[in-house]
């Protein structure tokens, strides 16, 4: 049974089954857009027609970290302005977990440690990080991949403000019980996808996570 299930999730194709006929950067400012003329292998054994797709590029992948205090069963959350939510009916200030971009060839764990310090004032070592998954938020049009962590953190001295002025960040920092954070998802106050993912994962796997963090 396990083998049959494994086969269901086995990829039928890989990157070698995609042909890039042309690639050009058609826009570059704070973000970038690349245009591809591509074709790819189809599940019926044929090749697709050549078609054009534009891809939103940040030229780097990202990390997201849910800082969790095992002793108090609390998580660290932040609030900051997000231009993509400008038309939101409630507010373009979103409640999120710590996140940021990977610098160069930096390992995701190192990026996570840096972002925790910059955004919420929490300093910890790599062995306090639990990597839970990698996710593509909008792979139909954006290339960014985010590595998601849960951090074993002491939130007793959490900063109340974070971010780097040089990056235009203005971040409100607070902590809340895990169950309350989950409740706020249903109430529509937490709308950030990777934040929802991390909170739900921790709620489902909390006992396993606590065992790992002992």
Q: Is 214 exposed, middle or buried (0-12, 13-18, 19+ CB in 10 A)?
A: exposed
d(C-alpha 135, C-alpha 8), whole Å:
19
Instruction: Give the per-residue pLDDT at 67.
Output: 98
Q: With both helix axes pointing from N to C terminus, report the angle between 193-204 and 178-186 in degrees, rounded to the nearest 10.
A: 130
Q: Which of 47, 74, 119, 167 is catalytic?
A: 167
Q: With both helix axes pointing from N to C terminus, report the angle between 193-204 and 206-213 in degrees, rounded to the nearest 10.
A: 80
Instruction: Give the per-residue pLDDT at 36.
Output: 98
Residue matched to tokens 């710590």:
98
Instruction: Give the per-residue pLDDT at 116.
Output: 97
- Structure pTM? 0.94
d(C-alpha 74, C-alpha 9), whole Å:
35
Instruction: Give the per-residue pLDDT at 159.
Output: 87
DSSP string of 20-32, one letter each residue: EEEEEEEEESSSE
SS3 180: helix
Residue matched to tokens 């006929």:
21
d(C-alpha 69, C-alpha 151), whole Å:
8
Instruction: Give the per-residue pLDDT at 135.
Output: 98
The pLDDT tens digits along the chain (214 residues) read: 456 788 999 999 999 999 999 999 999 999 999 999 999 999 999 999 999 999 999 999 999 999 999 999 999 999 999 999 999 999 999 999 999 999 999 999 999 999 999 999 999 999 999 999 999 999 999 999 999 999 999 999 898 888 877 777 899 999 999 999 999 999 999 999 999 999 999 999 999 999 999 8
Tell me if 123 sits within 8 A of 36, measured CB to CB: no
Instruction: Give the per-residue pLDDT at 2.
Output: 54
Could you confirm whether 167 is annotated as catalytic? yes
């Amino acid at each position: 049974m396990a083998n049959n299930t494994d086969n269901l999730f086995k990829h039928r194709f890989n990157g070698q089954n995609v042909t890039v006929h042309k690639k050009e950067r058609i826009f570059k400012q704070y973000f970038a857009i690349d245009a591809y003329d591509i074709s790819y292998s189809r599940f019926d054994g044929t090749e697709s027609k050549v078609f054009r797709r534009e891809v939103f590029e940040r030229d780097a992948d990202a990390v997201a970290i849910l800082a969790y205090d095992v002793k108090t069963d609390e998580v660290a959350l932040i609030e900051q302005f997000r231009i993509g939510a400008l038309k939101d009916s409630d507010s373009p200030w979103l409640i999120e977990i710590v996140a940021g971009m990977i610098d160069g060839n930096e390992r995701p764990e190192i990026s996570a440690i840096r972002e925790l310090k910059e955004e919420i004032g929490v300093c910890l070592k790599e062995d306090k990080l639990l990597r839970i998954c990698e996710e593509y938020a909008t792979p139909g049009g954006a290339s960014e991949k985010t590595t998601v962590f849960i951090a074993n953190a002491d939130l007793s001295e959490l900063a109340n403000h974070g971010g780097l002025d040089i990056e235009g960040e203005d971040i409100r920092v607070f902590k809340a019980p895990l169950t309350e954070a989950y409740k706020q998802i249903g109430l529509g106050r937490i709308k950030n996808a990777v934040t929802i993912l991390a909170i739900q994962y921790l709620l489902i796997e909390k006992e396993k996570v606590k065992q790992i963090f002992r």
